[in-house]
Amino acid sequence: MSNILVYALHYEGAFNKNSLGAVAEASRLAGELGGEAHAVVVGEGISDELAGALGKYGAKKVYKAEGPEGLAGPVIDTLGKLFDGGDYEYAVFGGGLLGFEIGAGLAARIDAGVTMEVTGVNVVDGKLAAERPILGDSSISTSRYKGKGIIIARLNAFEVKETGDGDAPVEAITTELSTQAQQANIVTRGEQRGADVDIEGASILVAGGRGLGKAEGFELCDDLAKAFGNNAAVAATRAVVDAGWYPYAAQIGQTGKTVAPKLYLAAGISGAIQHKVGMQASENIVAINKDANAPIFEFSDLGIVGDLNKILPKLTEAVKARKG
Amino acid sequence: MKIAVLVKEVPDAAVQKRIDPSSGRLDRSGEKNLNPYDTHAIEAAMQIKEGGAVEVDEIVAVTMGPESAVRALHKAVSLGADRSVHLSDAALAGSDVAATGYALAQVLKRESPDLVLLGQQSDDGECYTIGAVVAEYLGQPSLTQVIKLDIAGTELTCERQAEYGYDTVKVTLPAVISVGDAINEPRYPSLKAIMGAKKKPLETVSVGDAEIDASKVGADGSNVKCGDFKAPPSKSAGTIIEDDDTDDTVAKIVAWLDERKLLA
Ligand SMILES: Cc1cc2nc3c(=O)[nH]c(=O)nc-3n(C[C@H](O)[C@H](O)[C@H](O)COP(=O)(O)OP(=O)(O)OC[C@H]3O[C@@H](n4cnc5c(N)ncnc54)[C@H](O)[C@@H]3O)c2cc1C
């Protein structure tokens, strides 16, 4: 009964990083509980090779179910059926849209407890205890489960680790779709709009806020990101997205994306809590702000009090020179 | 058709929230307000009603919460709901998200709306989850983070932002849809609407009225127990550079980045 099910989301032949972190974390936890982590993949024509590769991240078995991709219903049906078998006590999800939708629906389906936005999980007295930041991250609360438990992580909260011994055995299963699952149908999935921005894949993000002054101010961020090279992209705060200075696809924060790059350079950003929750997991945070009292300095690793209009162009030149 | 909008009273975002150290519970005193995301759900309902694509007979605002939560219902009604239902019962205190969703679903069963709308998250709590829980208890499809909604007959076309870009999903009613704040710009209630809100029908429902199994709600009926509140790991204060000489500042930034191998 100490086995854990974990859902892995994929798109166009690759698993998303957030899901791989969830598989790795579930595998660690199952190990401590004396059980195994089994992954579940739902989609159309998934190859055994792709599914089995989850073994590298610690999954001991992978169930693959044929069904429409990108919707919660078919995954809830599949996981619900696996829980009915009685071998599982917990389910773990990476964050993101589907993690939240599936985790919550599954909790109701199997009468389990659910915790969302989880940033850490421990084994306490042979059971899982999930930690969740609350009140704008000013406090952390611990959830314990009466019976079955569902853990939905904050986006990218779990580290991707290749701890498995190679490919896992793949078992094809069939799920009969519930009526409600049949009532939702994907028309288009993953449509890119407004920009070719991929802020989640970038290891360096140059983020711009209202301090850039106007839409054209983003050129300063674009130039610096270009100087850093291929792995860098530009991100934005909600204030500037609302103002129409930059596309929504690049928005960081509570109502935008959650990122955890190696370097997050914030230019002209005050550091409001709704922005902070989207980027605080970044490894290195550098902030440029002319106001020495800006909240962003409370959680940046390197803070520069000054005018970004003076600093960014020179920094871009210096990075260019270094990168040669 | 009939639209139900789930609303919630939350602490005002502008007010500092805290845990009461003596009880270990959220201090719920202080300023409260209608959850901002829910105003977008009401607006979405109003736009369907005014849009003319379908005939909307009524919009019902539904909340679960202590006595004070009627204020959220008054606000919802002032924004356009025709009447409201308040699920209030001491037996519900301490319900976790699954128990709350179950209780709300029982109230919705009495109403049997064609469409349930709600905000995708509340300022104080369970992000993105309550809609999916309610939908599951109702046996209906659910979508969250919806930023565009078109209705034709019994079919909704919804757009949402997902992990790989935007999705367009068609959903057959009845359904439960959680909306994001990009979906619309909520209107301001008129003074007349604010004044009139208290006169619109408001029904208070107990656990018994809604045929809620009391063993499945409240702190005892919940599957999750929260506690052991602790402070997040404190981050040591970062280095601060005052920009007096920009060349010098930039040299320091570059050295700092170099040290962390960020310029490799
Ligand atoms: C429900 C809700 C959800 C939200 N979701 C998000 C979200 O997802 N993401 C998000 O970002 N926000 C979100 N917000 C908004 C958030 O509260 C802030 O308003 C927003 O993050 C502020 O953006 P900003 O830092 O660009 O602008 P501001 O707060 O206006 O800060 C601009 C900063 O630039 C500095 N500055 C000005 N000129 C210069 C200069 N020449 N050189 C250097 N510095 C300069 C100023 O000192 C100031 O600190 C949300 C709010 C709510 C209520």
The pLDDT tens digits for B193-227 are 999 998 999 999 999 999 999 999 999 999 999 88
Residue B52 CB contacts under 8 Å (≥ 6 apart), including other chains: none
The pLDDT confidence band at residue A317, using thresholds 50, 70 and 90, is very high
CB contact burial A155-177 (16+ within 10 A = b; e otherwise): bbbbebbeebeebbebeeeebee
CB A76 within 8 A of CB A184: no
The pLDDT tens digits for A51-95 are 999 999 999 999 999 999 999 999 999 999 999 999 999 999 987
Q: Please tell me if the CB atom of residue A208 comes closer than 6 angstroms to any atom of ligand 1.
A: no
Tokens of B96: 């976790």
Q: Please tell me if the CB atom of residue B127 comes closer than 6 angstroms to any atom of ligand 1.
A: no
Distance (Å) from the C-alpha of residue B162 to the closest C-alpha of chain A? 6
For residue B186, cis peptide bond before it (omega within 30 degrees of 0): no
Name the residue among B8, B179, B190 with its Cα closest to residue B86: B8
For A151, name the nearest residue in chain B, comparing CA atoms only.
B224
The pLDDT tens digits for A238-249 are 999 888 899 888
Q: What is the pLDDT of residue B152?
A: 96
Please name the member of B157, B175, B224 whose beta carbon is closest to the beta carbon of A114.
Answer: B224
Say yes or no: B229 contacts chain A, CB-CB below 8 A.
Answer: yes
Q: In this structure, how many other beta carbons lie within 10 angstroms of the beta carbon of residue A48? A: 14
The pLDDT tens digits for A259-313 are 889 999 999 999 998 899 889 889 999 999 999 999 999 899 999 999 999 999 9
Q: Do A302 and B239 touch (CB under 8 A)?
A: yes
Strand partners for A143: A130, B226
Look at chain A and count its residues: 324
Q: What is the pLDDT of residue A201?
A: 79
The pLDDT tens digits for A194-208 are 555 678 878 999 999
Strand partners for A302: A286, B239
The pLDDT confidence band at residue B24, using thresholds 50, 70 and 90, is low
Look at chain B and count its residues: 264
The whole-model pTM stands at 0.82
Per-window interface: B 17-36 vs A, CB < 8 A: 17-19, 26
Q: What percent of chain A has pLDDT over 90?
A: 77
Q: Which residues in chain A have their CB less than 8 angstroms from residue B18's CB?
A: 135, 138
Say yes or no: A306 contacts chain B, CB-CB below 8 A.
Answer: yes
The pLDDT tens digits for A2-42 are 899 999 999 989 998 889 999 999 999 999 999 999 999 99
Strand partners for B169: A186, B158
Q: In this structure, how many other beta carbons lie within 10 angstroms of the beta carbon of residue B71? A: 16
Residue B125 class from Cβ within 10 Å (0-12 exposed, 13-18 middle, 19+ buried)?
A: middle
Q: What is the pLDDT of residue B20?
A: 64
Q: Please tell me if the CB atom of residue A242 comes closer than 6 angstroms to any atom of ligand 1.
A: no
| The residue type at B166 | Y
Q: What percent of chain B has pLDDT over 70?
A: 91
Cα A179 to averaged position of ligand 1 atoms, centre (Å): 44
Q: What is the pLDDT of residue A199?
A: 83
Cα A272 to averaged position of ligand 1 atoms, centre (Å): 6
Residue A108 CB contacts under 8 Å (≥ 6 apart), including other chains: B98, B101, B102, B132, B133, B136, B137
Q: Do A310 and B235 touch (CB under 8 A)?
A: no
The pLDDT confidence band at residue B59, using thresholds 50, 70 and 90, is very high
Name the residue among A88, A239, A248, A123 with its Cα closest to residue B165: A248
The pLDDT tens digits for B112-143 are 999 999 999 887 677 789 999 999 999 999 99
